[in-house]
Structure 1
Amino acid sequence: MTLDAAVANPSDGTSASGSSFYAAMRILPREQREAMFQIYSFCRQVDDIADSEGPRPERLAAIQRWRDDIDALYQGHPPARLQDYVASVRHFGLKREDFLAIIDGMEMDIPQDIRAPDLATLDLYCDRVASAVGRLSVRVFGLGENDGILLAHHLGRALQLTNILRDIDEDASIGRLYLPLEGLLHAGITSNDPLKVVAEPALPKVCAPLVERARSHFEKADEVMNRNSRRVVRAPRIMSKYYRAILELLVERGFALPRPAVRLNKMAKFAIILRYAFI
């Protein structure tokens, strides 16, 4: 599952119009807002293929058609579903390799469900499904190249690790387990069966290092945003504050059973918008 910022999770009530993504992006000028919703739409459609219940060969074929369509877009003959992207690609300098990285990330869940990846594979997954979205987004926001790439790296990983920690039970219900193998083994968990792992009493020991890793990425993302114009980083700042709040609610709740769903309430969301949207 990708980060909410780009492919909002319908089970969390975050279709585009009801998401933290929407709240953060609606403050942007029209051209930027339209480009971000194009990125959103692309990610959502590719994510839907990965998360569908269709036969795996059919999903692989569908994901390849998206790869072909992105190639066609950058070769100057975009398919109908990408016609509107031409102006955004040209105006904001969106990179073909970032769109393809997102496709590659979604595809990682198709041949077989991800279960207990090693840390290197988990980081690659986070880079593809989250930081690659960030690399497209920072170009739209107008960050400089070096800080833009750095912000995408850290904020993308922070958001995705928060998603993984939030969605442990939901992912297990569809046969997926994004918790790293090294963490499981360190906690004495040898199974990679998602439903068995999420019932393990030692699960909090697996989650604790991921919490600290996510916090570290949030802090490094803040360092990048703090040295850039506040107006340029308004949208990513809102996303960061939303997700940091969710992470801390997860920590407060804990990772032992039972694990009630964690959501940011409307007042907390409004307070973040009020503080960061109009600077």
Structure 2
Amino acid sequence: MTVETASNTSYGNTASGSSFYAAMRILPQEQREAMFQIYSFCRQVDDIADSDGPREARLAALQQWRDDIEALYQGQAPPRLRDYAASVKEFGLERNDFLAIIDGMEMDVPQDIRAPELATLDLYCDRVASAVGRLSVRVFGLPREDGILLAHHLGRALQLTNILRDIDEDAAIGRLYLPREGLWEAGITSTDPLKVASEPALPKVCAPLVARAREHFEKADEIMRRNPRRLVRAPRIMSKYYRAILQLLVERGFANPRKAVRLNKMARIAILLRYAFI
């Protein structure tokens, strides 16, 4: 439901990019093309948010994307969105979900996110992950109510897994997505990303996020079980990939030093074979 990055949204790193690619390749052509359009949109706005350009220039570039989305829905698609018109019509993709994704990317631009309150973190997850899911489930063809619920839970599960996986990478670029309340409960008063990443109490901050991610995975599984398998093959593959990553993180632990966690090629192939073809 999200599409992965090195920055904590979900649109760039090779391992996750490949999981998205594999999951979407099993779709029929029209659905596949629509999903890659969604991915391309997410990747482009994410690249703006993560660039090292002046913040004012990044804000202006994101605003141009908003203007372009508005033009698309008014029947005057700019060149970079011209191919999207057919997918918007075919699958009923909603303008507000595209705009929510831009809003989510923008949350990192005026200043880097550092120890957001839980409510702000949940809003961030909704915008950069669950909004992508809401577009995706329309393409997959899920019933509206279950589709929205699946996007809510699976999007948050994937994004929380990203956050837990990328603590050190995010700290290196001045970002800290761990919630402020969790830091306080663990006795951590600093919001400096590098200092927090080196705190001995960091595992206490991560444990509730692991539990929250698992709860979202479970609720997403309940929704997928009650829908036809052909409609949930792609989100199920993404879920299994990320759930395996979460388990690897738990097995590794969150104390320093932390080695990078990746799902190996054979594990990815096994998930693909089991949930795409068997």
Same fold (TM over 0.5): yes
Counterpart for residue 86 of structure 1: 85
Counterpart for residue 170 of structure 2: 171
Once the two structures are superposed, residues 155-211 of structure 1 have per-residue CA deviations (whole angstroms, 9 ceiling, x without a partner) of 000000000000000000000000000000000000000000000000000000000
Amino acid at match of 2:124: Y
Alignment of 1:178-257 (within 5 A): 178-257=177-256
Alignment of 1:1-279 (within 5 A): 3-4=3-4, 7-10=10-13, 12-15=14-17, 19-279=18-278
Amino acid at match of 1:84: D
Query: Deviation of residue 278 (structure 1)?
Result: 1.6
Amino acid at match of 1:4: E
Native 8 Å contact 1:3 1:159 kept in 2: no
Amino acid at match of 2:275: Y
TM-score by length of 2: 0.97
CA distance in 2, matches of 1:232, 1:72: 31
Native 8 Å contact 1:184 1:190 kept in 2: yes
CA distance in 1, matches of 2:4, 2:63: 23
CA distance in 2, matches of 1:3, 1:271: 20
CA distance in 2, matches of 1:139, 1:278: 22
CA distance in 1, matches of 2:115, 2:50: 18
Q: Give the number of aligned pairs.
A: 274
CA distance in 1, matches of 2:258, 2:66: 38
Q: Give the secondary structure class of the aligned counterpart of 1:262.
A: coil
Once the two structures are superposed, residues 33-69 of structure 1 have per-residue CA deviations (whole angstroms, 9 ceiling, x without a partner) of 0000000000000000000000000000000000000
CA distance in 1, matches of 2:56, 2:121: 24
Native 8 Å contact 1:71 1:96 kept in 2: yes
Once the two structures are superposed, residues 120-173 of structure 1 have per-residue CA deviations (whole angstroms, 9 ceiling, x without a partner) of 000000000000000000000000000000000000000000000000000000
Query: Deviation of residue 9 (structure 1)?
Result: 2.6
Native 8 Å contact 2:31 2:140 kept in 1: yes
Native 8 Å contact 2:11 2:42 kept in 1: no
Structure 1: which 5+ runs fail to align?
A: none
Cα distance, 1:227–1:13 mapped onto 2, change above 3 Å: closer
CA distance in 2, matches of 1:3, 1:163: 11
Q: Give the secondary structure class of the aligned counterpart of 2:230.
A: coil
Query: Deviation of residue 13 (structure 1)?
Result: 4.5
Query: Deviation of residue 8 (structure 1)?
Result: 2.8
CA distance in 1, matches of 2:63, 2:253: 40
Once the two structures are superposed, residues 75-97 of structure 1 have per-residue CA deviations (whole angstroms, 9 ceiling, x without a partner) of 11000000000000000000000
**RMSD after superposition:** 1.2
Identity value in percent: 81
Amino acid at match of 1:9: G
Cα distance, 1:123–1:167 mapped onto 2, change above 3 Å: same
Native 8 Å contact 1:114 1:178 kept in 2: yes
CA distance in 1, matches of 2:62, 2:11: 19
TM-score by length of 1: 0.96
Once the two structures are superposed, residues 226-272 of structure 1 have per-residue CA deviations (whole angstroms, 9 ceiling, x without a partner) of 00000110000000000000000000000001100000001100110
CA distance in 1, matches of 2:3, 2:193: 20
